[in-house]
Amino acid sequence: MKIWYDLPLVRSLFNRGDRNDWEVRSADPGYAEYLDDHPDPGRIPEQTVPVFAYAGVRHTARVDLATLVAAHRSASSGAGRFRAQAFDYATLPALLGKQPADGALNAGARPGEGAGAAPASAAPYDRIICCEGWRARFNPYFAYLPHGGMKGDVLLVRTTAPPLERMFKHRIFLVPQSDGTYWVGATSDNRFADDAPSPANYQFLSDRLEELLTVPYTIIGHRAAVRPTVRDRRLLLGSHPSWPELLIFNGLGTKGASLAPLASRWLADYLLAGAPLPAEVDIQRFAP
Ligand X SMILES: Cc1cc2nc3c(=O)[nH]c(=O)nc-3n(C[C@H](O)[C@H](O)[C@H](O)COP(=O)(O)OP(=O)(O)OC[C@H]3O[C@@H](n4cnc5c(N)ncnc54)[C@H](O)[C@@H]3O)c2cc1C
Binding footprint of ligand X on the chain (CB under 6 A): 86-87, 131-133, 135, 152, 154, 185-186, 225, 227-228, 250, 252-258
Q: Which helix (H) or strand (E) holds 220?
A: strand 217-227
How far apart are CB 172 and ligand X at their closest, in Å?
11
Residue nearer to ligand X on the CB measure, 188 or 214: 188
CA dist 153 and 195 (Å) reads 9
3-state helix, strand, coil in the chain (%, to 5): 30, 25, 45
Taking CB atoms, the residue at the shortest distance from ligand X is 256
How far apart are CB 281 and ligand X at their closest, in Å?
13
Contacts 24+ apart (CB under 8 A), 47-50: 47/159, 47/161, 47/164, 47/213, 47/214, 47/215, 48/168, 48/170, 48/212, 48/213, 48/214, 49/211, 49/212, 49/214
Residue nearer to ligand X on the CB measure, 84 or 273: 84
Q: Which helix (H) or strand (E) holds 19?
A: helix 16-27
How far apart are CB 121 and ligand X at their closest, in Å?
27
Residue nearer to ligand X on the CB measure, 90 or 257: 257
Residue nearer to ligand X on the CB measure, 92 or 213: 92
How far apart are CB 103 and ligand X at their closest, in Å?
20
Residue nearer to ligand X on the CB measure, 36 or 153: 153
Asked if 214 contacts 47 with a C-beta cutoff of 8 angstroms, the reply is yes
How far apart are CB 169 and ligand X at their closest, in Å?
11
Residue nearer to ligand X on the CB measure, 55 or 248: 248
How far apart are CB 94 and ligand X at their closest, in Å?
16
Helix (H, G, I), strand (E, B) or coil at 200: helix
The separation between CA 63 and the C-alpha centre of its own chain, rounded to angstroms, equals: 12
Helix (H, G, I), strand (E, B) or coil at 260: helix
